Structure 1
Amino acid sequence: MKVIIMCGGKGTRLREETSVKPKPMVEIGGRPVLWHIMSIYARFGFKDFVLPLGYKGEVIKQYFHDYNIRNTDFTVELKSGTIISHPGHVEDWRVTLCDTGQETLKGGRIKRIAKYIDSDRFMVTYGDGVADINLHKLLEFHKQSGTIGTFTGVRMPSRFGAVRTDAAGKILSWEEKPVLNEHINCGFFVFERRFLDYLSEDENCDLEKEPLQQLAAEGQLSMYPHPGQWQCMDTLRDSIKLNELWDSGRAFWV
């Protein structure tokens, strides 16, 4: 089953990092967040990735082009230019990298790489979020739902405290950063292949708008409620938090 990881956005809220690299290449513990996301899928046996590229996509291409050399010892025969790689640990992943346009939105990017989707079902996620998700349970939930698409929902803690008062303004309760009742979409999608018919190659085709709204209107979209943890890398604050979790041995997605 193919896993599509969206890698084309500009990451404007993380300009401290994304002025020189795409957001999926921002590092956690010395490895791109993209690598961490791929590792989550690989642990469940999903190792065939398609990466739709856009903003600074050449950085991601170069990273995987040089991946073997970066992660193994090698010998260079200077006269002939021959490079001999020595045995070492390199992940057994298959990665297809596709230019899908600088300004293309996510739905258009998926449609533009449709030729690389050779199965009846495929997975999609964003290139900036990690979770302690059980992908086998997600997949089974999707199969049982019988719908064309399934996304993963999480309940997030509020960034602020919540205060409840009576009509006179007297405090009835005070809760610091409560967990919100609503679920938010954190990615980790599963789609049947026929979802591609809901997409177009137009650069303005946005995944979360018409395509998913249409699925929902037709009763063809389900939500898998993830009970665990999820964290995106959307801002510098997020980047610092994720690296603190990694450095302290509390990386929940490992």
Structure 2
Amino acid sequence: MKIVILAGGKGTRISEESVTKPKPMVTIGGRPIIWHIMKTYGCYGFNDFIICCGYKGECIKKYFVNYKLHNAITNFTLDSCEKNGKVKYIDDLSETEQWNIVCANTGLETLTAGRILKIKKYLMDDDEFMITYGDGVSDIDLAKVLKFHHSHGKVMTISTTKPEGRFGTISIDSGNRVIRFNEKARMDQSIVNIGFMVAKKKIFDYLGDGDEMLEKGPFERLVADGQMVAYEHPGFWSPMDNIHDREYLERLWQNDAPWKKWI
């Protein structure tokens, strides 16, 4: 099964980092967040990725072209006499991911529905595939997500959760008198779509001309036809929308990152 990663946005809310790199390449523990996402999928045997590149997509392409150089625990020799230089890795102690990766240029200004349309040719032989965003990590059980998707027969499954509370709430009576302050509580949060989606090929019938965000017209049409079901994830999830999110995830990584399931 192939996994489509939406990785083409400009990441304006984390401009401190995205001015030099696309948001999926912003690091946690020295590794791009897209690496963390792909490692999560790899834990469940999902290793075929289609990365929808856009803004500064060359950074993503260069990273994976030079992946072994970036990540291997190894020495290497370089024969500069060879055309373009021949690298030979020696004393390689690293684990090698069994990833098959398509890095597809889907345009700088393309909206998310259009990005999926532009990689349709890579999915023509697949009855279903997974879709996720390139900026969030989770300890979600992807085997359970897929099993749930197969149980209902609809076109699309999204994964949802109530994020951990970031803000306390205030209770006010009818006279605007503050009654109490409440601690941050997950139960008080709204349910959100966290990515980690599964779609049948029929989703292409809902994407229109690709000039919409996936979460707008296409999702609304799926909902209107009763073709979208939500898998409820009770565990950890966090996006990396801004620099504070990155710092939060970095602190978790230095301790006991809940999404690190590959050790």
Q: Return the TM-score normalized by structure 2.
A: 0.91
Q: CA deviation at 1:198?
A: 1.4
| Matching residue of 1:174 | 181
d(CA) in 1 for partners of 2:219, 2:258? 29
Q: Tell me whether 1:38 sits opposite 2:38 in the alignment.
A: yes
Tell me the equivalent position of 2:103: 97
Task: Indicate whether 1:7 and 2:11 are aligned.
Answer: no
1:85 aligned to which of 65, 84, 89? 89
Partner of 1:165: 172
| Cα root mean square deviation, aligned | 1.5
Deviation at 1:174, TM superposition (A): 2.7
* Cα distance between partner residues in 2 of 1:68 and 1:174: 52
Question: Partners of 2:40 and 2:209 in 1: how far apart?
Answer: 29
The one-letter code of the counterpart of 2:202 is R
Q: Which amino acid aligns with 1:195?
A: I
Deviation at 1:206, TM superposition (A): 1.4
Task: Provide structure 2 residue ranges, at least 5 long, that are not aligned to the other structure.
Answer: none
1:53 aligns with 2:53: yes
| Superposition pairs of residues 45-194 of structure 1, within 5 angstroms | 45-70=45-70, 71=72, 72-80=74-82, 81-86=85-90, 87=92, 88-117=94-123, 118-179=125-186, 180-194=188-202
- Offset, 1:90: 2.0
Q: For the Cα contact (< 8 Å) 1:112–1:201, is it kept in 2?
A: no
Question: Does the CA-based 8 Å contact 1:4-1:50 persist in structure 2?
Answer: yes
In structure 2, give the amino acid aligned to 1:153: T
Aligned letter for 2:76? F
Do 1:109 and 1:201's aligned partners in 2 also have CA atoms closer than 8 Å?
no
What is the TM-score normalised by the length of structure 1? 0.94
CA distance in 2, matches of 1:103, 1:9: 8
| Count of aligned residue pairs for this structure pair | 252
Shift of 1:7: 0.6
Shift of 1:201: 5.1
Q: Measure how far apart 1:98 and its partner are.
A: 0.3
Whole-angstrom distance in 2 between the partners of 1:114 and 1:144: 25
Q: Taking every aligned residue pair, what percent have the same amino acid on both sides?
A: 44
